[in-house]
Amino acid sequence: MANKTEQPRDHWATKLGFVLAASGSAIGLGNIWRFPYKAGQYGGGAFVIAYVVSVLIIGIPIMIAEFIIGRSAQKSPVGAFKQLSFNRAWPLVGWLGVLSGFIILSYYSVVGGWILRYIWESGFHFFKEGSAGPIFSSFLANPWQQLIWHGLFMFMTMIIVRGGITTGIERWSKVLMPSLLIILLILMINSLRFPGAGEGIQFILKPDFSKLTREGILEALGHAFFSLSLGMGAMLTYGSYLDKGTNISSSALEIVVLNTFYALMAGLMIFPIVFTYDVDPQVGPGLFFITLPEVFARMPAGQLVAISFFVLVAFAAITSAISLLEVVVSYFIDELNWSRKKADYVMGTVIFLIGIPSALSWSSLKGVTLFGSRDIFDSLDFLATNYMLPIGGFFIALFAGWILTHGQKEAEIKRIENTFHFYDIWHFLVKYIAPLAVLVILLQKTGVLPF
């Protein structure tokens, strides 16, 4: 036990580095295609308003709760719940976060490999009209290709996390996030020149409250939760590397604003293309790997646009992946006193191996199902999205609202956080509103609620 104090805890060098890293965790693949599509489906600007309200009542309160738990304990999720509670059951919430990191990254890395392959495909072969669908199907059916690209993406993630907080995650976040913004801006400006730009902007931003149904409000609630990387211990782990002088509430607000800004920009990039080339906006993830490559093949300077787009998506994927791996690595550093190098290489390799069945879901393991008719890949996504993350978020909110003492919480909320009774408002939301909202999300995702 005495050896556990030998490794001093690393901290973010700057608040900017922390905000960019946490924003990178939140800005993933789902934000680039799912938020704009959901906005258009459920009333454009009306959905955006519902999303912003949902972020205020559920996203920011739970994010701040994770930051408080992490910074107060200065430990990974398991160690944090051990240190801050006397009940042996609470560390199970931390274990759920570590397990979530294992499972989500195992299949997320497979998709990351697809993106790397498409950068290669765009640069060296490019797509021809009618070729994207067969190329993608052939790629999915090739087990060795799946494993090679899955392994490459996982290796890249491991290299960044191996560098530690300041020289690894923070340094790369300061490179990747501004680069992502620049590429996104260039692609968005180019898209806004297309004939379908006006229709695309209306699809995303024009408020139509008649389309904001009860289902749409639940979707806004769910997206506010899932899009911010809540419930999996990532924000808690990143919070554990915060120094005591960092303003938690302003950091959370900045992360949320960046997350929403990037999502809206992604919509303004994608949907002018969608409406110019008469593409179905409801194709979801297939938009990345089949529909848009077909469009790029018909577009002037399409190869350059394709390369830029997939580099953009790769940056979004890698910044999310490193936060997932860090949750796992931090546990083995804190609880088992492993070196960062050992934890990174061993656990990264284990996650790669766990991801092999997902990578082979369309080839060697085609036809193997786990939950109903879902293949292995979809089953793991179903398990994490519908159960693990909402359950984790629910208990994090309960712990912050009901178990932590006022003294523990107030010690972490300082200076301008206390202005305008911020602590009282946050405490009410995290104690009553956020748990109820996450419970509704959980019941809706599991089919208990019939809408």
pLDDT on residue 256? 94
**Per-domain residue ranges of the chain:** 15-445
C-alpha 26/C-alpha 8 separation (Å) is: 27
* Cα end-to-end distance, the chain, whole Å: 50
What are the φ and ψ backbone dihedral angles of 244, each rounded to 5 degrees? Answer: -70, -15
What are the φ and ψ backbone dihedral angles of 413, each rounded to 5 degrees? Answer: -110, 110
Using DSSP's 3-state secondary structure scheme, residue 253 falls into helix
Q: What's the predicted TM-score (pTM) here? A: 0.94
Q: Which two tokens stand for residue 291?
A: 């529909």
Sequence-ordered alpha helix ranges (H) in 166-301? 171-191, 197-205, 214-226, 234-239, 248-276, 286, 292-298
* Helix-strand-coil split of the chain, %, nearest 5: 75, 0, 20
pLDDT on residue 281? 66
Distances in whole angstroms, Cα of residue 323 to Cα of each of 117, 246, 316, 352, 394: 22, 20, 12, 16, 20
What are the φ and ψ backbone dihedral angles of 368, each rounded to 5 degrees? Answer: -80, 125
Per-residue pLDDT tens over the stretch 130-140: 788 899 999 99
pLDDT on residue 3? 46
Query: For residue 370, which of 124, 159, 103, 158 has the smallest C-alpha distance?
Result: 103
What are the φ and ψ backbone dihedral angles of 261, each rounded to 5 degrees? Answer: -60, -45
Beta-carbon contacts of 260 under 8 Å, excluding residues fewer than 6 positions away, are 51, 52, 55
Per-residue pLDDT of the chain in tens (451 residues, 90 and over written 9): 444 455 678 999 999 999 999 999 999 887 887 888 788 888 888 999 999 999 999 999 999 999 999 999 999 999 999 999 988 899 999 999 999 999 999 999 999 999 999 999 998 888 887 788 899 999 999 999 999 999 999 999 999 999 999 999 999 999 999 999 999 999 999 999 999 999 989 888 889 999 899 888 988 998 899 889 999 999 999 999 999 889 999 999 999 999 999 989 988 998 898 889 887 766 666 778 888 888 888 888 889 999 999 999 999 999 999 999 999 999 999 999 999 999 999 999 999 999 999 999 999 999 999 988 999 999 999 999 889 999 999 999 999 999 999 888 888 886 545 555 788 899 999 999 999 999 999 998 877 766 5
Fill in the amino acid letter for 314: A
Residue 132: CA count within 13 A, CB half-sphere: 20
Distances in whole angstroms, Cα of residue 46 to Cα of each of 57, 92, 275, 287, 341: 17, 38, 20, 24, 47
Fill in the amino acid letter for 198: G
Residue count of the chain: 451
For domain 15-445, which CATH number applies: 3.40.50.261, 1.20.1740.10, 1.10.10.10, 3.40.50.150?
1.20.1740.10
Q: Which two tokens stand for residue 28?
A: 């993933």
What are the φ and ψ backbone dihedral angles of 247, each rounded to 5 degrees? Answer: -75, 110
Query: For residue 9, which of 326, 323, 251, 330 has the smallest C-alpha distance?
Result: 330
What are the φ and ψ backbone dihedral angles of 375, each rounded to 5 degrees? Answer: -70, 180
C-alpha 145/C-alpha 81 separation (Å) is: 41
C-alpha 445/C-alpha 148 separation (Å) is: 33
Give 333-357 as a DSSP string. Answer: HHHH---HHHHHHHHHHHHHHHHHH
